[in-house]
Amino acid sequence: MKLIWFRNDLRVRDNKALYNANQSSDGVPIVAVAVLTPVQWLMQDEANSRVQFWLANLRELSQDLASLNIPLKILRASSNNEVPDQLLALANRLNADSLYFNHEYAEYEQRRDDAVQMLFQQHQLRVEGFHSDTIIKPGTVRNKQGQPFKVFTPFSKAWRVRFTDEWPEPLPMPAPQPPCNVQSDPVPDSLVYDAPVQSIWHDHLWPAGSEEAHQRLAIFAETKAADYKLKRDYPALAATSVLSPYLTVGAISSRQCLAGLSANSGDPEWLDNHWTSELIWREFYRHLLVDFPEMNRLLPFKPDVESRLTWSSDDQLFDAWCRGETGFTLVDAGMKQLLATGWMHNRLRMVTASFLTKLLRQDWRKGARFFMQHLIDGDFASNLGGWQWSASVGADATPYFRIFSPMRQAERFDAQGEYVARWIPELASLKGVQRFDPMLGATVGRPLPIIDYAHARSQSLDDYNLAS
């Protein structure tokens, strides 16, 4: 037998580990395995919505695997520490001689995989790792001096050159294997565990499975990709792909996303489409985790800037931000979208993160943690990158003097208050710009602003200026 271990790569097409296990099987049956690790999820602040969505995608995967005659075994370990022994025991039970998986890039996962590899090798079992989560293997995009890029634009240019040279096509679904006599385990319908925050997976918003992800991709590529650059910043419009939850659990791959864009957008310049750049941002943050491992330990990319900043310890301010009750309408609407759905539009992620770090002067780690505990697409690399960018302590971060004004952002991106009224229903009785007026907001039960914007902005500028 050969084992294939599924993690955040829950798909049968364009899955390098599965494809290679199948290609080299010589008639040896493949058995799939997934490990449920509730304590680990808690340690890594994975949102309950994300966990339940992952499970639902695992159920879909189990059916796709069944059509290939590949049984799926489910193991339960509390944390990563127990995973190597559990996998070895399964390999022994099934008389398997090898284990296949796709690499994950955060340090936690790499340490887990190293431990598995060591144990398997001690028992003369083979381990094969593949790079399927990114299009270009992390650690291999280099500048002329052979060094990793620290800035996005030159990284993306070099990345596009590599892409054009290698032109990686998505891999097909492997051929079915002959039926094998191993019984599949049922994937639990849901998993009750001690999540401190019960963020809920709304299955009507995020139906699980690769098929759903591919339908979303096709609709996006055909009807939205052409206007993506123009419309992507307007949160009231459904102008982005909303594929992030599916990419996060691997129900679809970024290679498949680009192939779908190329096939369905009718745009010969699709490689230069702004959407492609966003997928390259996703890659950039994964490459940074590998090239600058200290980032995994929540150290800032620019320690010199952060070491001279003082974060506020005012928990009331943090608490108001978490609840979406700061009195700054756009910020509050973003937080309420997150609380209600487990997802937030990118423009709002930038506005709320800038507000927390630059105006409430709260440590970006607190915000990053809160996001992870609520996001259905919570992804260590992208979340860390986004937060460090917002706090001006990251690689290619926004300059310290760029502080998003919630009022100006609202004027530019939600001028009629359509988005804010959707998430703060009490504003519906007010019209257009009135929705952003704190005094009028107070008349419908909204809180007054918790800080004086002009004062907070000027203090922040002074502090960051000294720190930079």
Per the annotation, the verdict on 364 as an active-site residue is yes
Is 375 a binding residue for ligand FAD by CB under 6 A? The answer is yes
Per the annotation, the verdict on 270 as an active-site residue is no
Q: Which of positions 184-203 make contact with ligand FAD (CB under 6 A)? A: none
Q: How far is the CB of 347 from ligand FAD (least distance, A)?
A: 8
Task: For the chain, give the longest Cα–Cα distance.
Answer: 73
- The one segment of 16-24, 91-99, 274-282, 296-304 that binds ligand FAD by CB under 6 A: 274-282
Per the annotation, the verdict on 346 as an active-site residue is yes
Q: Which of positions 388-427 make contact with ligand FAD (CB under 6 A)? A: 390
Cα end-to-end span (Å), the chain: 57
Is 386 a binding residue for ligand FAD by CB under 6 A? The answer is yes
Per the annotation, the verdict on 311 as an active-site residue is yes
Q: Report the C-alpha gap between 23 and 458 in whole angstroms.
A: 62
Is 378 a binding residue for ligand FAD by CB under 6 A? The answer is yes
Is 244 a binding residue for ligand FAD by CB under 6 A? The answer is yes
- Tokens representing 93? 């039970």
- The one segment of 19-27, 184-192, 302-310, 381-389 that binds ligand FAD by CB under 6 A: 381-389
Q: Report the C-alpha gap between 420 and 347 in whole angstroms.
A: 13
Is 248 a binding residue for ligand FAD by CB under 6 A? The answer is yes
Residue 136 near residue 162, CB atoms below 8 Å: yes
Report the residue closest to ligand FAD, judged by CB.
386
Residue of 54, 364, 389, 423 marked active site? 364
Q: Kindly state the number of chain residues that form the binding site for ligand FAD, as judged by CB under 6 A.
A: 28
Q: Report the C-alpha gap between 311 and 364 in whole angstroms.
A: 9
Is 232 a binding residue for ligand FAD by CB under 6 A? The answer is yes
Residue of 81, 212, 222, 281 marked active site? 281
Residue 132 near residue 161, CB atoms below 8 Å: no
| CA-based radius of gyration for the chain | 23
Residue 370 near residue 323, CB atoms below 8 Å: no
Residue 166 near residue 14, CB atoms below 8 Å: no
- Tokens representing 429? 């009785």
Per the annotation, the verdict on 389 as an active-site residue is no
Q: Report the C-alpha gap between 119 and 121 in whole angstroms.
A: 5
**x/- map, 279-318, ligand FAD, by CB under 6 A:** x-xx--x---------------------------------
Is 240 a binding residue for ligand FAD by CB under 6 A? The answer is yes
Burial of 213 (0-12, 13-18, 19+ CB in 10 A): buried
What amino acid is encoded at 447 in this protein? P
Q: How far is the CB of 186 from ligand FAD (least distance, A)?
A: 29
Residue closer to ligand FAD, measured from CB, 93 or 157: 157
Residue 13 near residue 109, CB atoms below 8 Å: no
Residue closer to ligand FAD, measured from CB, 4 or 356: 356
Per the annotation, the verdict on 273 as an active-site residue is no
Residue 198: count other Cβ atoms within 10 Å of its Cβ.
8
Q: Report the C-alpha gap between 16 and 34 in whole angstroms.
A: 16
Is 206 a binding residue for ligand FAD by CB under 6 A? The answer is no
Residues that bind ligand FAD (CB under 6 A): 232, 240-244, 247-248, 278-279, 281-282, 285, 346, 349-350, 353, 371, 375, 377-379, 382-383, 385-387, 390
**What residues act catalytically?**
278, 281, 311, 346, 364, 387
